[in-house]
Amino acid sequence: MGVIQNILAVIVVLGVLITIHEYGHFWVARRCGIKVLRFSIGFGKPLWSWTDRHGTEYGLAAIPLGGYVKMLDEREGPVDPSERHLAFNTKSVWKRIAVVCAGPLANFLLAIVAYWALFVAGTTSVVPMIGGVAADSPAGLAGLSPKAEIVAINGQPTRSWDEINLRLIGAIGDDHLNITTRADGASATREQALKVNHFLVDQDPPRPLATLGITAWRPQLPAVLGQVLDEGAAKAAGFNAGDRIVSIDGVLVVDWIDFVERVRGAPGKTLSVLIARGGREQTLSLTPASHSLEDGRTIGQVGAGVENISWPAEYQRELSYGPLAAVGQAIGKTGEMTVLTLDSIRKMLVGLIAPSNLSGPITIARIAGDTARSGLEAFLSFMAYLSISLGVLNLLPIPVLDGGHLLFYLVEAVRGKPLSERVQNAGLKIGMALVGSLMLMAIYFDLMRLW
């Protein structure tokens, strides 16, 4: 069931992003007086198509990993003299630049709309309160203490753990971090400098909070099962939702975190678990299944989740804006995520971020499914971020991408004439090889994560 949900979620996400991207090219091409021959979502043999009164064919193809807008162009085939003025190649260089830029800009606009909807609807987050600090960690040595809220990192405000993680990911490779905190119930803030040597470099995947020695505060969770998956070890052992975990191998279980840590530390080992059910106690034998993490560690999993409890109101934070104020917030958020994406690309090129962090269609499908199961807010946030990534990547100056065509046209605008066909063809071959290699690398790392 999870695989089917992942597939459906990624089809929805990629379908929307690709359609918006290609519609950007299509809309501007029409406004520039260019005849559009085909608007296709996907590659390969069309599964469905129809033609409008302008002679444009709209198609849905079998391979949903991209799309294209085919325009009338003398470089791609004979053009009737009566329609030559409608051909892409006969338009001014500035109109061609507008058409090329329209696709990525449409992706940025989609992200702004998605963030705007989230800000207007309002989002609920947990106050980023420190729960624990390891003594010999960067946070411990700098003097950070539990029950203090992290209000800023390097001068940038942090209203949630999501924002903290984004700030920390953006600091990859840094040697110092400035973290501003406010003690619980206090009004004064305190800024502390943390020494971090090449922060998060060579970590795959990055573990920013663990590297700093910080754990998030959370209310104590009783060790009570809220759900038991049909295919999990807990179900096979006879556990039911509502069971309270009393002890494991004769040692009392303090709370849910204690239960999880002991399960994770016992892959493949049979545990004697005392539970309370319906006012009576009984003992069950539980053997956690072995699960390999991306960092090579093996942990135990039993396929059970904790019973939901309500967070104290004082540790919840709702962020919402009016329709007009949300516009500025959405544009700012899109700009922030764009800068983060560009900075991540730069750091990958200089070796601060491992290439194994590249994600392909398998990882995108898994994350799309996870966010869809988490709710509309998480799903929209993921779609917005992926739309920004698509826009940024397409603007990279690599031939075959929109950014490569943009580079050719900018050179033409400066020179007053286009680059020779030989140079453009050579660039396209290099671009195809580079993009193809990146796609293969991403798929390879996707498969490695599955193993």
Please give the positions annotated as active site.
22
Neighbours of 395 (CB within 10 A): 23
DSSP 8-state class, residue 355 = G
The CA-based angle 19-21-22, given to 5 degrees, is 65
Helix or strand run (H / E) with residue 380: helix 376-394
CA distance 198 to 174: 5
Which candidate, 281, 251, 278, 280, places its Cα nearest to that of 266? 251
DSSP 8-state class, residue 175 = S
CA distance 48 to 54: 18
For residue 413, count CB atoms less than 10 angstroms from its CB and return exposed for 0-12, middle for 13-18, buried for 19 or more: middle
Helix or strand run (H / E) with residue 118: helix 93-121
The residue with tokens 């556990």 is: 239
Residue 366, φ and ψ in degrees, nearest 5? -65, -45
Q: Are strands 156-157 and 148-153 parallel, antiparallel or unpaired?
A: antiparallel
DSSP 8-state class, residue 114 = H
